[in-house]
């Protein structure tokens, strides 16, 4: 008799999808109860990742520890790349009641792995009933009824583990409603509610919306909702069917997990009402993107993952919200807009001053340093130095950010084109410190490098009109 391994990935007993792994096989099962014209059925959606092309799948359905149905399937992965998943769907008719579905994956006769899915098939015989909710990572219109993933005019893929990462901006789901008494004049209101569940099980509503639909015997429904501004946490999606008097006729719900670190940090700012916030909300998309680039040199390192997220897939709302919070923070919550205007006035001047043709002026090394530490106390530009590329030495008598005195930075132009000077060496804490700066600066005088090992060399010979070290050290 098979060993039955019961493992349920869930919270609040709402998530009934499981996964088992070992060195060579990973399997995920999503279950959902629906009804067609003849009977109720459970839909089993399998996603299997295995190095084996052939997988034996045995399905046993238990009721009160008695096997009432069994299926033996031979699944073949037709994907060329081993990294691609094998996907399979089974639809099995079941009467009302509680069941356990055991899925056993065999890669050899002596090596098998088992999953248990507990399910409950409820009655759909009320005047207005609703199926379970199926969360999907993608839903596409389709006319290919031969496709295994085809259902009611579309193909779909499950949302693995009912978990939504920051890049998952849409909550896409499918469900069905059923009516036994049909009146074309009857309007059923579908009320959608998303609630956050705390550690004590207390629910707090964070989003709701409504749709009116005409009563039908069978009504398959696809809903797509933006959840980009919903913060991290355990959540519940509930659908309530109500009449015009707001009486609940039937309902269904499912749990899901949201991971969204950006909104975890800024959710309070999103609901804030202030004149300065409204100003940032009205910025054009181009102005917001320009500002985000301009503040980058001064963004704290702890915020870099957020900046990477915003640059890769951040929405316009998220970018504006971050910009607002940035200036609110550096202005100490006073004169936020004044701080913004002053900063952007300087950023635009630096943009023009260090424009290189390869990007914004404040995106160049000199532009970044200027924005971070302000105007240098002295600049020593050098175009003619024996064997050196053109370079500049910037001297700061005092840098408040690092609490340093007599700090220096050396920029050079190894491409000899335009004005794109790169930071080669500095004494500023947190900026590039390069012990080999001199051989790199004087690369055109490679024969004068001191030492036999040019890779580790740190000095070049003194020569006529060779003054970079003098400028830098004195």
3-state SS record for 287-307: HHHHHHHHHHHHCCHHHHHHH
Q: From CA 53, how far away is CA 154, in angstroms rounded?
A: 27
Contact 409, 429 (CB under 8 A): no
* Residue 306 vs residues 49, 310, 326, 447: alpha-carbon distances, Å: 32, 6, 12, 47
Residue 108: the pLDDT is: 64
Residue 20: the pLDDT is: 54
Report the DSSP pairing between strands 248-258 and 163-164: parallel
Residue 19: the pLDDT is: 55
How many residues belong to the chain? 474
Residues 41 and 96 in one domain: yes
Residue 53: the pLDDT is: 72
Residues 413 and 380 in one domain: yes
Q: How many CB atoms lie within 10 A of CB 99?
A: 20
Q: Which residues of 404-440 are buried (b: 16+ CB within 10 A; e: fewer)?
A: beebbbbbbbbeeeeebbbbbbbbbeebeeeebbbbb
Residues 314 and 442 in one domain: no
Residue 137, in any domain of the structure: yes
Residues 117 and 128 in one domain: no
Residues of the chain with pLDDT under 70: 1-24, 78-83, 107-111, 184, 454
Residue 393: strand pairing partners: 380, 410
Residues 229 and 127 in one domain: yes
- CA atoms within a 13 Å half-sphere pointing along the CA-CB vector of 129: 20
Contact 256, 30 (CB under 8 A): no
Residue 359, in any domain of the structure: no
Q: Which domain holds residue 152?
A: 123-259
Contact 192, 208 (CB under 8 A): yes
Boundary residue ending a domain (103, 122, 141) = 122
Residue 472 host element (H or E): helix 468-473
Residue 419: the pLDDT is: 77
Residue 360, in any domain of the structure: no
Residues 178 and 191 in one domain: yes
Boundary residue ending a domain (319, 353, 387) = 353
Boundary residue ending a domain (353, 386, 415) = 353
Looking at residue 176, which CATH number applies to its domain?
A: 2.60.40.2550
Output the CA angle 110-28-9, nearest 5 degrees.
105
Residues 11 and 95 in one domain: yes
Residue 10: the pLDDT is: 38
Residues 72 and 97 in one domain: yes
Looking at residue 99, which CATH number applies to its domain?
A: 2.60.40.10
Residue 361, in any domain of the structure: no
Q: From CA 273, how far away is CA 139, in angstroms rounded?
A: 37
Residues 234 and 346 in one domain: no
Residue 425: the pLDDT is: 96
The token pair at 213 is 């639909």
Residues 151 and 255 in one domain: yes
Residues 132 and 235 in one domain: yes
Three-state DSSP state, 188: strand
Residues 146 and 21 in one domain: no
Total structural domains in the chain? Answer: 4
Residue 65, in any domain of the structure: yes
DSSP summary character for residue 466: -
Residue 313, in any domain of the structure: yes
């Amino acid at each position: 008799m098979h060993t039955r391994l019961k493992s349920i990935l869930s919270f609040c007993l709402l998530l009934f999808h499981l996964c088992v792994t070992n060195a060579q096989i990973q399997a995920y099962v999503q279950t959902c109860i629906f009804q067609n014209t003849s009977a109720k059925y459970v839909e089993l959606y399998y996603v299997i990742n295995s190095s084996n092309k052939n997988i034996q799948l045995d399905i046993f359905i238990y009721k009160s520890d008695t096997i009432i149905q069994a299926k033996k399937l031979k699944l073949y992965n037709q994907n060329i790349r081993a990294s691609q998943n094998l996907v399979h769907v089974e639809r099995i008719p079941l009467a009302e009641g509680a069941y356990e579905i055991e899925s056993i994956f065999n890669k050899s006769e002596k090596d098998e792995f088992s999953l248990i899915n507990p399910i409950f098939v409820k009655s759909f015989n009320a005047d207005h009933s609703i199926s379970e909710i199926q969360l999907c990572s993608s839903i596409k219109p389709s006319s290919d009824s031969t496709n295994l993933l085809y259902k009611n005019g579309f193909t779909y893929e499950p949302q693995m583990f009912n978990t939504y990462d920051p890049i998952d901006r849409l909550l896409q789901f499918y469900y069905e409603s059923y009516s036994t008494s049909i009146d074309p004049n009857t309007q059923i209101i579908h009320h959608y509610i998303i609630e956050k569940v705390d550690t004590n099980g207390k629910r707090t509503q964070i989003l709701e919306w409504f749709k009116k639909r005409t009563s039908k015997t069978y009504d398959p429904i696809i809903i797509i909702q933006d959840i980009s501004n919903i913060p991290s946490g355990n959540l519940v999606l509930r659908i309530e069917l109500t009449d015009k008097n707001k009486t609940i006729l039937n309902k269904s719900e499912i749990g899901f997990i949201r991971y969204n670190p950006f909104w975890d940090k800024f959710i309070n700012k999103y609901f804030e009402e202030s004149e300065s916030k409204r100003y940032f909300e009205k910025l054009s998309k181009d102005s917001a993107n320009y500002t985000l680039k301009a503040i980058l040199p001064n963004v704290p390192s702890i915020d870099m993952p957020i900046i990477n997220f915003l640059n890769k897939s951040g929405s316009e709302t998220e970018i504006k919200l971050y910009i607002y919070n940035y200036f609110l923070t550096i202005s100490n919550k006073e004169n936020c807009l004044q701080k913004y205007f002053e900063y952007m006035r300087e950023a635009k001047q630096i943009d023009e001053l260090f424009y290189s043709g390869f990007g914004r002026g404040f995106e160049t090394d000199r532009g970044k340093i200027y924005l971070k530490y302000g105007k240098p106390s002295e600049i020593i530009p050098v175009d003619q130095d024996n064997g050196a590329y053109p370079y500049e030495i910037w001297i700061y008598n005092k840098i408040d950010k690092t609490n340093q005195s007599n700090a220096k930075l050396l920029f050079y132009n190894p491409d000899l084109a335009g004005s794109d000077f790169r930071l080669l060496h500095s004494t500023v804490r947190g900026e590039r410190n390069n012990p080999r700066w001199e051989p790199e600066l004087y690369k055109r005088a490679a024969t004068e490098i001191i030492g036999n090992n040019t890779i580790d060399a740190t000095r070049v010979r003194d020569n006529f009109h060779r003054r970079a070290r003098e400028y830098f050290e004195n």
